[in-house]
Amino acid sequence: MDADDSRAPKGSLRKFLEHLSGAGKAIGVLTSGGDAQGMNAAVRAVVRMGIYVGAKVYFIYEGYQGMVDGGSNIAEADWESVSSILQVGGTIIGSARCQAFRTREGRLKAACNLLQRGITNLCVIGGDGSLTGANLFRKEWSGLLEELARNGQIDKEAVQKYAYLNVVGMVGSIDNDFCGTDMTIGTDSALHRIIEVVDAIMTTAQSHQRTFVLEVMGRHCGYLALVSALACGADWVFLPESPPEEGWEEQMCVKLSENRARKKRLNIIIVAEGAIDTQNKPITSEKIKELVVTQLGYDTRVTILGHVQRGGTPSAFDRILASRMGVEAVIALLEATPDTPACVVSLNGNHAVRLPLMECVQMTQDVQKAMDERRFQDAVRLRGRSFAGNLNTYKRLAIKLPDDQIPKTNCNVAVINVGAPAAGMNAAVRSAVRVGIADGHRMLAIYDGFDGFAKGQIKEIGWTDVGGWTGQGGSILGTKRVLPGKYLEEIATQMRTHSINALLIIGGFEAYLGLLELSAAREKHEEFCVPMVMVPATVSNNVPGSDFSIGADTALNTITDAYKSACDMAEARGRHQELCIPLCVVPATISNNVPGTEISLGSDTGLNAVVETCDRIKQSASGTKRRVFIIETMGGYCGYLANMGGLAAGADAAYIFEEPFDIRDLQSNVEHLTEKMKTTIQRGLVLRNESCSENYTTDFIYQLYSEEGKGVFDCRKNVLGHMQQGGAPSPFDRNFGTKISARAMEWITAKLKEARGRGKKFTTDDSICVLGISKRNVIFQPVAELKKQTDFEHRIPKEQWWLKLRPLMKILAKYKASYDVSDSGQLEHVQPWSV
Ligand code: ADP
Ligand code: ADP
């Protein structure tokens, strides 16, 4: 926590940021094309990282137009000019389309304007058009310089000095239409907006039987439509890349009426703006509505989401993505040589990569070409792994074959939730049940965790039983923290009675411990010699074997939202008496060790009401005071939420157990905040993980800051309780839960196939696994192996990937920190996904 971080890992092979200097360099940053939430976070990261390494950073306002026009459109940025923009949607430096930049003449002017300020490093945040323009500009650079010299606008020296232009791109686009990147900046926030609307529509379903046709953005790319459909369990989805088969009109109506017959009150159809049929003819929302009304006579409404999708505050995911990529972009610029091609920094799985810009652009154009030429399978393949995977999962979960067409395996597969509830658990159960049924198994649900297991609370669960589960928070099956150890006998009996052939466990650290206990008990109880797999679901994100767990993303959003609402609340309190109650409804203490904790529905609804009230009141509240918010997060000993919440919300400090801190650190943090309050920055945010220190409690830190800040700032503290576990799951958690659990079920099916007819006993380590995401892969790891990687006392993995990002938060909050750049993105090549 100290200002000069000496505790960061050191190693001779590691390469640290200190070796890279930006002294004497000038970086220009611009946002271009359509705006997207999270662009501001990227701008903030570029500016602050640039300044941190000693470079000058210039805002280029209004995209390429500002570059062509020059003058006050190119202005040096300082630390404070990017304050308080992390949570703001859109882009503060403006974005525009620019005809002039498409001409050489325009680009000549732009080059001249850049040279006047010595800018030879460009960071472009935009879509494929903007990046293509940047690439062209870079290619022409030396020619432009010569022409400027010929015209006498620059001298020979300048031609030599500024001979190369380095270009790094970041893709900002809500459509996620750029090949080579798993997620573009803004996509996740757009999904949040869409899902908010779907959830709102769902609630009216109780009173009316209706069909909703929801049109989402995506003129050329169906990503938003596809993922929204996955996240809300839509009845049907129309995408440009994968048009429906001929005769779809009839098929769709049959599907809708079947769902109606199953007493579903609501049908949801999602349409991408650019949806087409196999003949490349547009399929419009109106056409779909007409069809449903004339064929089925259903009450049908069309909702076109439009610009709402670009609006609102960026999600935690987008802020973290954009912050990481902004920092990567600066590093890439510092490392660039005359031979490095213009590149895009992006994310592959959870791994930062650099890709040659033109390869990405080329492949993105190839997708369009494939669609134009009606090679739709190619289009899906070219979109990449994530897209193809989503499409596959959607198809498996939305379409049920008639029972007599599914070959039965005569296997019973049980699903159980273990540990504290985490948002996304229900999506995971739904997906497991449906994939299991499609694979021919009989699916059993175990209620109330291992406790219920021992007592025989086990029932068959069918396809329709899990309808509509995707968006529900908490755990519908019921979950408990109880471990199986003391019930081994009873559980073995139940396994036998119900002839359970495989087990899927969805849960957190207890689930992991439980799996270890079952594994150890295999020798004694042969009932446990069946394939078992766990998918991690916990807000703490502390399960060994996975970079992410289901539920952690929702919790992160709660943290960023809470800070926003706390700020709004603080501003509004002076003016509005009625606001002087609500924050106290948050539970004062939470212990991660309470058995069977459930979310109380009432308090969550109350909290939402508070947040909404805040948002409304915010508009009337203007004056700001110097104030520091101290927020306690959950996570047990695992600092993931505090650390990543800190990165997403722009915290000044995040106290976590993994990085011990002492009184000197606290002092330096307080002094840092005092300094900060002397500037135009008026707010501070400090996060504290609940178990970061036994003695430096949240109250202690609050009192220390209050005392030391006297006369400079005042403090507010807030303990984020179970709201972090509850509420509606974020789109990320819904999809992650859905996909990972489908994978787990496929694994179970494959294992059971191996065993068919041979009554095989599964005794080897590789038949009892945790399924997780590591860097860019989804992997199954035997619990026996993960054991070595676990700190059991503190219930965390010994190595945690996100600790590497910790210096980022510090650097962006103006601390000095040592940042390991040895695994910053290497230059790679774009590859289509081979199916
Ligand atoms: P996006 O970046 O979101 O794809 P556009 O395609 O509208 O958005 O591109 C944004 C801007 O980038 C354009 O207005 C133009 O100034 C510039 N641009 C796009 N394509 C080119 C190109 N081929 N050559 C030069 N500039 C381009
Ligand atoms: P799923 O929604 O999980 O895919 P089904 O395909 O069996 O399950 O049924 C889907 C129907 O349930 C659709 O009409 C869908 O719009 C509707 N539905 C989904 N979620 C809800 C909800 N929370 N409340 C009411 N209806 C819902």
Distances (CA, A) of 166 to 126, 331, 344: 16, 12, 12
Among the atoms of ligand 2, which is closest to the Cα of residue 469?
A: 3
The predicted structure's pLDDT at residue 616: 33
CA distance 151 to 166: 24
Question: How many angstroms does the Cα of residue 296 sit away from the middle of ligand 2?
Answer: 18
> Which of 314-323, 330-339, 349-358 is predicted with the least confidence, judged by mean pLDDT?
349-358
With vertex at residue 761, the alpha carbon angle to CA 756 and CA 767, rounded to the nearest 5 degrees, is 95
**Per-residue confidence band for 561, with pLDDT thresholds at 50, 70 and 90:** confident
Give nearest CA residue, ligand 1 atom 14.
97
Contacts of 775 (CB under 8 A, 6+ apart): 349, 350, 351, 547, 801
For the cut 50, the answer to whether the pLDDT of residue 752 exceeds it is: yes
Name the nearest CA neighbour of 114 among 79, 51, 64. Answer: 64
Q: Where are the alpha helices (DSSP H) in 336-423?
A: 357-372, 376-383, 385-398
Average pLDDT over residues 431-454: 96
Place of tokens 């459930």: 598
Ligand 1 pocket test, candidate residues 68, 99, 132, most atoms within 8 A of CB? 132
Ligand 2 pocket test, candidate residues 211, 262, 264, most atoms within 8 A of CB? 264
pLDDT tens per residue, range 49-88 = 999 999 999 999 999 999 999 999 999 999 999 988 888 8
Average pLDDT over residues 425-435: 95
Average pLDDT over residues 180-209: 85
**Per-residue confidence band for 726, with pLDDT thresholds at 50, 70 and 90:** low
Give nearest CA residue, ligand 2 atom 15.
267
CA distance 705 to 687: 13
The predicted structure's pLDDT at residue 1: 37
Q: Are 33 and 97 in contact (CB under 8 A)?
A: yes
Binding site for substrate, by residue number, is: 173-175, 210, 217-219, 273, 301, 307-310
Binding site, by residue number, is: 34, 97-98, 127-130, 173-175, 210, 217-219, 273, 301, 307-310, 481, 589-593, 627, 634-636, 690, 716, 722-725, 795
Does residue 462 line the site of ligand 2, with CB under 6 A? Answer: no
Ligand closest to CA 184: 1
**DSSP collapsed to 3 states, 703-757:** HHHHHHCCCCCEEEEEECCHHHCCCCCCHHHHHHHHHHHHHHHHHHHHHHHHHCC
pTM for the model:
0.86
For the cut 80, the answer to whether the pLDDT of residue 594 exceeds it is: no
The predicted structure's pLDDT at residue 581: 28
pLDDT tens per residue, range 513-526 = 999 999 999 999 99
pLDDT tens per residue, range 236-293 = 999 999 999 999 999 999 999 988 887 777 889 999 999 999 999 999 999 999 999 9
pLDDT tens per residue, range 616-653 = 323 323 345 788 888 888 888 998 888 888 888 888 99
Average pLDDT over residues 569-596: 29
For the cut 80, the answer to whether the pLDDT of residue 720 exceeds it is: no
pLDDT tens per residue, range 118-154 = 999 999 999 989 999 999 999 999 999 999 999 999 9
Ligand closest to CA 133: 1
CA distance 73 to 11: 44
Share of the chain above pLDDT 90, in %: 57
Average pLDDT over residues 476-489: 94
For the cut 90, the answer to whether the pLDDT of residue 496 exceeds it is: yes
Does residue 243 line the site of ligand 1, with CB under 6 A? Answer: no
| Average pLDDT score, the chain | 85
Q: Are 88 and 686 in contact (CB under 8 A)?
A: no
Does residue 48 line the site of ligand 2, with CB under 6 A? Answer: no
Q: Are 378 and 370 in contact (CB under 8 A)?
A: yes
Contacts of 513 (CB under 8 A, 6+ apart): 483
Question: How many angstroms does the Cα of residue 267 sit away from the middle of ligand 2?
Answer: 7
Question: How many angstroms does the Cα of residue 264 sit away from the middle of ligand 2?
Answer: 7
Among the atoms of ligand 2, which is closest to the Cα of residue 199?
A: 23
pLDDT tens per residue, range 157-170 = 999 999 999 999 99
Catalytic residues: 175
For the cut 70, the answer to whether the pLDDT of residue 825 exceeds it is: no
Binding site for ATP, by residue number, is: 34, 97-98, 127-130
Average pLDDT over residues 4-30: 69
Ligand 1 pocket test, candidate residues 31, 109, 130, 221, most atoms within 8 A of CB? 130
The predicted structure's pLDDT at residue 632: 87
Query: For residue 659, which amino acid is it?
Result: E
For the cut 90, the answer to whether the pLDDT of residue 376 exceeds it is: yes
> Which of 4-8, 577-581, 732-736 is predicted with the least confidence, judged by mean pLDDT?
577-581
